[in-house]
Amino acid sequence: MLVLQDKVIVFSSDIGRYLYCPMQIYMELKYGKIETQHMVRGTQKHKEIELREKEGTEELKEVQTLSQALEMSKYTSDIIQSVDEYKMREFFDGVILVGKPDLIAAHKNKIIIVERKPYREGGIRKGELLQVVAYAMLAQKETRIDYDRIECYLDLYDRDTSQIVKRERVPLLPQYTYEVRKILRELYNIANGKIPNKTDNEAKCKFCPYKKYCSKV
């Protein structure tokens, strides 16, 4: 999350980070971003998978907007037209929400959104699910299409091999969009000085890069 003059910019990944520990968001604004080795490894895994998964899609480098890709997809039924490195920005609840899915594409007049996350035995985290819902909200607001024309998926990969082991469909339920907007309002309040609650899970604090600062709040 960034605060630039009077603008509050929230990245879609901040939604999951807020659910993990709201205090981390507050600490990052106060002391700056601290990148851990775990974060670096995660970025590397993402890049490995991204290079491999680009096979089988045709990138529309000349396309400027998602709406253009959607229109072009009406006439090409067999090829998924992906919009490379596409970043969406829209205004929600006092903040500018920014999102760049791992894959966003148009296929048969629908939008396909895919986000990649590590596979866990415990299942998908709520923050991961809501991050994808936030992408759908951005795409819907930009294109003005109905949610039933947006399909969202989580591709879960093995941490050791980087291979996709499971694909989960993310349902775009009203309760999820409500939760996203509620979190955006909370993030707006944090950006304006509200001190959030700390996590009650001490295991999360063990390797937190802001641990030494958190004890002072």
Mean pLDDT to the nearest integer, 103-108:
88
Say whether pTM exceeds 0.75.
Answer: yes
State which fold the 2-214 domain adopts.
Lambda Exonuclease; Chain A (3.90.320)
Is the pLDDT score of 133 beyond 80?
yes
Contact yes or no for 24/15 (Cβ under 8 A): no
Q: What is the pLDDT of residue 208?
A: 86
Contact yes or no for 93/189 (Cβ under 8 A): no
Q: What is the pLDDT of residue 36?
A: 65
Contacts of residue 58, defined as CB under 8 A and 6 or more positions apart, other chains included, come to 79, 80, 81, 82
Q: What is the pLDDT of residue 138?
A: 97
Q: What is the pLDDT of residue 56?
A: 52
What ranges in the chain are assigned the alpha helix state H?
Answer: 13-20, 22-31, 37-53, 66-72, 126-143, 174-191, 202-205, 211-214
**pLDDT single digits (tens) 15-66:** 999 999 999 999 999 999 887 666 556 666 656 666 665 555 556 555 678 8
Contact yes or no for 98/87 (Cβ under 8 A): yes
**pLDDT single digits (tens) 143-195:** 999 999 999 999 999 988 888 999 999 999 999 999 999 999 999 999 999 99
More confident residue, 49 or 1: 1
Confidence label for 204 from pLDDT (cuts 50, 70 and 90): confident
Q: What is the pLDDT of residue 202?
A: 85
Domain limits, the chain: 2-214
Mean pLDDT to the nearest integer, 4-13:
92
**pLDDT single digits (tens) 86-95:** 899 999 989 9
Q: Chain-centre distance of CA 25, in angstroms?
A: 15
